[in-house]
């Protein structure tokens, strides 16, 4: 006996759904980032806590005000503004002035997401849009490092032994050495341990590569992110570093590679949808990150490498679009 028509549910696609919800996915991302964020606060103190408070607070307020002015339903509970504020803080140096962090959050939410129509419509990763905005607008301010208590406690990075570093990160020191003499003035392998466990240079998200890797693996195992993007990104970065005659391990641990590969490049909206496309996209992120680091003027090029590949994601999807099931190419 056939099923009565009234018992059937008729509706538009998609017809395949998942138990995962947007707030649930965002909470998993936040949970994966929390250990690294807490470690940054513990090791760097109130300056890190202040940065988190400003970027998260301004991100939430900006989205709420935008929705109110546009007379749209509030979307704060989907968790995306919280993730954007958290990632934005982790992409900034702890010494970033509060007003600059606030401007970055305002641009990230306003111009990076809401102006496109909100979550699901943005072409670029919102947090990286905010990071790129302050990098290009106030590069001189970011490069100036006022002395802080935690900053004076940096370990030696050279064979001769510096007492302290007044602004340059390990990555910047390596880039300067390479540009000046084609060689490095310090042992790159000796930097593995601080980069993995306690790195007080660079951005908040660079404080411990181990915590970022563990958080990223949790998201992969949980099915929140696709392993193809971080694998393609980190693998290509390592191979390119080796091809340029440098230490691959140092270059995947230093800078924002780990944060970018696991948490930035994997943004659902701004990355390709096909499996092949995600691998191509990850390889592209790693390749352009390496080219920017070894050939470009900025040793830390993670932000612009991912933003560039965000722009290519629709084209990658078109080229790598899987064949429709049951479809046969016409011979006409």
Distance, in Å, from the CA atom of 222 to the CA atom of 179, rounded to the nearest integer, reads: 42
pLDDT at 326: 67
pLDDT tens per residue across span 263-281: 999 999 999 999 999 999 9
Q: Is the pLDDT of residue 222 over 70?
A: yes
Mark 305-323 as b/e (b = at least 16 C-beta within 10 Å).
Answer: bbbbbbebbeebbeebeee
Question: What is the reported pLDDT for 143?
Answer: 67
Question: How far is it, in rounded angstroms, from Cα 32 to Cα 309?
Answer: 24
* Model confidence at 244: pLDDT above 50: yes
Give 88: exposed, middle or buried? Use CB within 10 Å, 0-12, 13-18, 19+. Answer: buried
Averaged pLDDT for residues 4-22: 72
What's the longest Cα–Cα distance across the chain?
A: 86
The pLDDT assigned to 285 comes to 98
Crossing angle (nearest 10°) for helices 98-110 and 80-90: 140
Q: For residues 304 and 294, give the distance between their C-alpha atoms in angstroms, rounded to a whole number.
A: 14
Mean pLDDT of 67-75: 95
At 274-304, the pLDDT tens digits run 999 999 999 999 999 999 999 987 778 999 9
Collapsing DSSP to helix, strand or coil, 177 comes out as helix
Lowest mean pLDDT among 84-98, 170-184, 242-256: 170-184
What percentage of the chain has pLDDT greater than the value 70? 83
Percentage of the chain beyond pLDDT 90 is 67
**Better-predicted residue by pLDDT, 166 or 55:** 55
| pLDDT number for residue 174 | 75
CB atoms within 10 A of CB 162: 13
pLDDT at 146: 56
Helices (H) and strands (E) in the chain, counts: 14, 0
pLDDT confidence band for 25 (50 / 70 / 90): very high
For residue 285, give both structure tokens.
């992120």
| pLDDT for the residue 116 | 94
At 154-190, the pLDDT tens digits run 444 444 444 434 445 777 777 777 777 666 767 888 8
């Amino acid at each position: 006996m056939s099923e009565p028509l009234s018992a059937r549910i008729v509706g538009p696609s998609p017809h395949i759904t998942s138990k995962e919800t947007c707030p649930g996915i965002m909470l998993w991302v936040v949970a994966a980032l929390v250990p690294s964020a807490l470690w940054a606060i513990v090791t760097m103190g109130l300056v890190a806590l202040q940065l988190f408070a400003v970027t998260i607070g301004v991100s939430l307020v900006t989205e709420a005000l935008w929705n109110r002015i546009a007379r749209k339903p509030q979307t704060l509970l989907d968790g995306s503004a919280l993730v954007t504020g958290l990632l934005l803080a982790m992409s900034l140096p702890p010494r970033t002035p509060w007003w600059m962090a606030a401007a970055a959050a305002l641009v990230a939410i306003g111009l990076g997401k809401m102006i496109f129509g909100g979550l699901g419509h943005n072409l670029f990763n919102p947090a990286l849009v905010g990071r790129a905005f302050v990098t290009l607008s106030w590069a001189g301010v970011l490069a100036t490092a006022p002395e802080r208590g935690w900053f004076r406690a940096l370990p030696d990075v050279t064979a001769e032994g510096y007492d302290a570093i007044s602004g340059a990160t390990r990555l910047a020191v390596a880039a300067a050495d390479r540009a000046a003499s084609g060689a490095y003035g310090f042992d790159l392998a000796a930097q593995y341990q601080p980069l993995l466990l306690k790195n007080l240079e660079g951005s908040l998200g660079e404080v411990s590569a181990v915590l970022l890797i563990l958080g990223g693996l949790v998201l992969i195992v949980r099915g929140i992110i696709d392993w193809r993007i971080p694998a393609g990104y980190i693998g290509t970065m390592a191979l390119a570093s080796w091809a340029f005659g440098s230490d691959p391990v140092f270059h995947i641990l230093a800078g924002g590679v780990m944060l970018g590969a696991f948490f930035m490049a994997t943004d659902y909206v701004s990355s390709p949808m096909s499996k092949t496309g995600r691998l191509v996209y990850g390889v592209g992120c790693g390749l352009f990150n390496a080219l920017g680091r070894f050939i470009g003027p900025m040793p830390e090029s993670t932000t612009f490498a991912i933003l560039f590949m965000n722009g290519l994601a629709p084209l990658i999807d078109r080229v790598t679009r899987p064949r429709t099931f049951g479809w046969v190419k016409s011979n006409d």
